[in-house]
């Protein structure tokens, strides 16, 4: 199974199209969205081609291929227009014996850790900054933001296939970071 992992679209039709282009190009089976899909939030500028209705239509067209968690900008009204679940605070995925705790990052993060072990992965967005950090508590990963990157990062996403994570440019698909799960 190949996953494309993206976060923080924030209503950008431009970057949503880019995600769907990469999804097709990558021949991924599922998209994991780490929240903040439609609304740009009061602290952010409007992203390029801000159009939540268009984002809704694009994502609903592939609803059976989306696995999603709730971001701090999601609300019940978003669930009313999106045809896939978006209101779960977290999800769990097991990859080659490693537990991946998937969340947005506003509730569970390195400061407020879920109950996971040091070899488990905490995967979240929210900060808009790509990350790969091994701590004494977990391995922390963040794909960065698709539409509103911060701290000189680029619009980005990740892929996961056969225990291998790749961080990639959303514009070019170029790899700029990678991590492979080790055998337990």
pLDDT at residue 35, as a whole number: 97
Q: CATH number, domain at 51?
A: 3.60.21.10
Number of domains in the chain: 1
8 Å CB contact between 9 and 39: no
Confidence (pLDDT) at 44: 81
Residue with tokens 């209503």: 11
Q: What is residue 184's predicted lDDT score, i.e. its pLDDT?
A: 46
* Domain range for 108: 2-180
Q: Report the alpha-carbon distance of residue 138 to residue 122 in Å, rounded.
A: 7
Helix (H, G, I), strand (E, B) or coil at 22: helix
Query: Could you tell me the pTM of the whole model?
Result: 0.96
Q: What is the pLDDT of residue 183?
A: 55
Question: Within 13 Å and on the Cβ side, how many CA atoms surround 145?
Answer: 24
CB 70 within 8 A of CB 35: yes
Kindly list the averaged pLDDT for each block of 10 residues, start to end, along the chain of length 184.
98 98 98 96 89 98 98 96 98 96 98 95 98 96 97 98 97 96 69
Residues 108 and 90: beta-carbon distance below 8 Å: yes
Sole residue written with tokens 């978006």:
86
């Amino acid at each position: 199974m190949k996953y494309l992992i993206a976060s923080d679209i924030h209503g950008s039709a431009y970057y949503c199209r880019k995600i769907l282009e990469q999804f097709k190009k990558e021949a991924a089976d599922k998209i994991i969205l780490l929240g903040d899909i439609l609304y740009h939030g009061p602290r952010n500028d409007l992203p390029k081609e801000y159009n939540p209705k268009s984002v809704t239509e694009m994502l609903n067209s592939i609803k059976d291929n989306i696995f999603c968690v709730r971001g701090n900008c999601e609300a019940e009204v978003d669930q009313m227009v999106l045809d896939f679940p978006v209101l779960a605070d977290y999800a769990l995925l097991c990859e080659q014996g490693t537990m991946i705790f998937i969340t947005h990052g506003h509730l569970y993060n390195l400061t407020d850790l879920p109950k996971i072990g040091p070899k488990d992965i905490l995967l979240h967005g929210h900060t808009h900054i790509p990350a790969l950090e091994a701590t004494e508590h977990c391995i922390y990963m963040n794909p960065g933001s698709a539409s509103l990157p911060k701290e000189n990062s680029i619009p980005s996403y990740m892929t996961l296939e056969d225990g291998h994570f790749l961080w990639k440019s959303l514009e070019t698909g170029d790899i700029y970071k990678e991590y492979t799960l080790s055998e337990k």
